[in-house]
Amino acid sequence: MAKKAGAKRSGTSNKKNPPRSAAAKVRSDGGSGKEKGFDAADAFSKLLQSPLAAELVAVAATAALAALAEHGFTSSDEARGGKRAGKAVKEAGKAAAAAIGRRLGTEIDEIRRSAKAGAKA
């Protein structure tokens, strides 16, 4: 039988399922991430500075701009309300996401090809 969503765990613990606090959580290798020199903020910063991330942002921006340009806005469009603009922005977001997906797919395929070539050599 499933527990109720609002049911709270009792304060007592048994040997199979002891309560876990934030201080009690450690990695399986016995140490915390900070002790081993891993810094998540630094890793995220390096990821954002990578050439692939910069290329993905450029691809997304180009696709979004192209989708917006297809709608051909004029100043008279603003008088009719924001529905057309909202639809254009939504389509621009979809175009950007699709462009990122295609670019990541290409990158993954390239990695797989090089891995196969490296395994054969």
Q: What is the mean pLDDT of the chain?
A: 76
Each as own residue / partner, the long-range contacts of residues 52-61 (CB below 8 Å, 24 or more positions apart, any chain) are: 52/107, 55/103, 56/100, 56/103, 56/104, 59/96, 59/99, 59/100, 59/103, 60/96, 60/97, 60/99, 60/100, 61/96
Residue 58 belongs to some domain of the structure: yes
Task: Report the percentage of the chain scoring pLDDT > 90.
Answer: 37
What is the spatial distance between Cα 66 and Cα 12, in angstroms, rounded to a whole number?
Answer: 60
Note whether residue 103 is domain-resident.
Answer: yes
Least confident piece of the model among 19-23, 45-49, 84-88: 19-23
Residue at 96 is within a domain: yes
Which pLDDT belongs to residue 23? 47
Token couple for 24: 């009690």
Its sign, for the CA torsion 15, 16, 17, 21, is positive
User: Is residue 11 in a domain?
Assistant: no
Is the separation of the CB atoms in 67 and 88 below 8 Å? yes
Does 112 reside within a domain?
Answer: yes
Residue 67 CB-density burial (10 A; 0-12 exposed, 13-18 middle, 19+ buried): buried
Q: Tens digits of per-residue pLDDT, 59-107?
A: 999 999 999 888 776 555 555 666 778 888 899 999 999 999 999 999 9
pLDDT for 47 equals 86
C-alpha to C-alpha distances, 28 to 31, 32, 33, nearest whole angstrom: 8, 9, 11
Query: In terms of residue numbers, what domain contains 59?
Result: 40-120
The answer to whether the beta carbons of residues 93 and 64 sit under 8 Å apart is: yes
Judge whether 99 and 59 are in contact, CB under 8 Å: yes
Q: How many domains does the chain have?
A: 1
**Banded pLDDT at 24 (limits 50, 70, 90):** very low
